[in-house]
């Protein structure tokens, strides 16, 4: 019977049915939606501690104000995801303030602090471009009505974020010293952006998100879309990245084995050493160097308040 219910829902969704309430969902749909919204909320929220590491290095007051506005947007985007989770019956207080750091679902790239303001620009240009690519796909294709409507606002703000990053980088490459910072940023952050989209399609055995229209495109299709914007931008500012457009296949091709090995301590990719997705997933689960500190920063105020409340 559960199989019949799944098939009926998949068929309805493929015909254009919009899911509005839990009553419209199967257990599979609810589980997949909760998982997807948790990743989204965690990604939006955990972008903020990384940006906070360098925003004070902004070269002008306008740049600093814009960086703060972007962080405020990210908090708002996270709020949307967590509110939707709460409406689905998730204990969001437990999720946010009692979950161990290694169990958060933010991208591995967000477990690293930034070294300078140019890296904040690369963060916006690369990672917000990835977020925009992913959420634009969801906004156009998701079968979950409340999320589709909420993403109208999010989509516009993510576009602003990535444009801000591109503006910072265009300005930076005109100065020889800051140009070196751009080159150094892209050496480690470009491939981090590629990893945003997850494992290669050929390794994915389940198509639940596509069947239920929680997304519209596959991981590799989304990765191609990201490359189609990022590589031309890099070319336009004279920054080399290990990827190019292949006329024969009409696709962007990487000039190194992907995935490849990563030296966490040095933040260096070993472009001549192929890796497996199993190893990459183990690296993701082990989390990056700032994972605990960044999550602790998110949770700190809550626990301080709780201690004060209990002692009063």
Judge whether residue 203 has pLDDT over 90: no
pLDDT digits (tens, 9 = 90+) for 94-124: 999 999 999 999 999 999 999 999 999 999 9
Question: Which among 179, 155, 191 is positioned nearest to 237, based on CA atoms?
Answer: 179
Tally Cβ neighbours within 10 Å of residue 36: 21
Q: Using CA atoms, how far apart are residues 294 and 48, in angstroms rounded to an integer?
A: 9
Question: Would 226 be classed as within a structural domain?
Answer: yes
DSSP character string of 31-98: HHHHHHHHHHHHHHHHHHHHHHTTGGG-SSHHHHHHHHHHHHHHHHHHHHHHHHHHHTT--HHHHHHS
How high does pLDDT run on average in the chain? 96
Judge whether residue 263 has pLDDT over 50: yes
pLDDT digits (tens, 9 = 90+) for 264-287: 999 999 999 999 999 999 999 999
Question: Would 219 be classed as within a structural domain?
Answer: yes
- For the entire predicted model, the pTM comes to 0.95
pLDDT at 206: 74
pLDDT at 1: 46
State the residue range of the domain holding 138.
Answer: 2-95+108-251
pLDDT digits (tens, 9 = 90+) for 287-305: 999 999 999 999 999 999 9
Question: Would 266 be classed as within a structural domain?
Answer: no
Question: Would 13 be classed as within a structural domain?
Answer: yes
Residues 167-189: what's their mean pLDDT?
97
Question: Would 172 be classed as within a structural domain?
Answer: yes
The total number of structural domains in the chain stands at: 1
Question: Would 90 be classed as within a structural domain?
Answer: yes
Reported residue count of the chain is: 312
Question: Would 174 be classed as within a structural domain?
Answer: yes
Q: What is the CATH number of the domain that holds 120?
A: 1.20.1260.10
Helix (DSSP H) and strand (DSSP E) numbers for the chain: 12, 4
């Amino acid at each position: 019977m559960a199989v019949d219910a799944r098939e009926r829902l998949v068929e309805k969704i493929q015909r254009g049915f919009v899911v509005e309430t839990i009553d419209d969902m199967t257990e599979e749909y609810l589980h997949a939606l909760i998982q997807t919204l948790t990743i989204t909320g965690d990604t939006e929220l955990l972008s903020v501690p990384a940006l906070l590491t360098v925003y004070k290095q902004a070269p002008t007051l306008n740049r600093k104000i814009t960086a703060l506005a972007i962080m405020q947007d990210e908090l708002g985007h996270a709020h949307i995801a967590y509110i939707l989770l709460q409406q689905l019956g998730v204990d969001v207080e437990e999720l946010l303030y009692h979950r161990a750091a290694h169990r958060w679902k933010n991208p591995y790239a967000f477990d690293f602090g930034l070294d300078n303001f140019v890296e904040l620009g690369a963060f916006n240009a690369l990672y917000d471009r990835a977020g925009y690519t992913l959420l634009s796909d969801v906004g156009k294709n998701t079968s979950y009505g409340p999320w589709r409507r909420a993403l109208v606002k999010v989509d516009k703000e993510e576009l602003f974020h990535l444009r801000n990053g591109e503006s910072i980088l265009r300005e930076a490459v005109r100065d020889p010293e800051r140009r070196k910072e751009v080159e150094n940023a892209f050496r480690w952050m470009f491939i981090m952006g590629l990893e945003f989209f997850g494992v290669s399609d050929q390794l994915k055995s389940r198509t639940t998100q596509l069947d239920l229209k929680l997304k519209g495109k596959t991981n590799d299709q989304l990765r191609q879309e990201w490359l189609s914007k990022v590589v031309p931008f890099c070319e336009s500012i004279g920054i080399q990245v290990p990827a190019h457009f292949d006329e024969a296949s009409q696709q962007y091709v990487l000039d190194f084995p992907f995935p490849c090995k990563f030296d966490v301590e040095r933040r260096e990719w070993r472009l001549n050493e192929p890796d497996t997705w199993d190893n990459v997933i183990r690296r993701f689960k082990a989390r990056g160097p700032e994972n605990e500190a960044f999550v602790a920063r998110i949770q700190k105020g809550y626990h301080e308040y709780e201690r004060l409340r209990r002692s009063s």
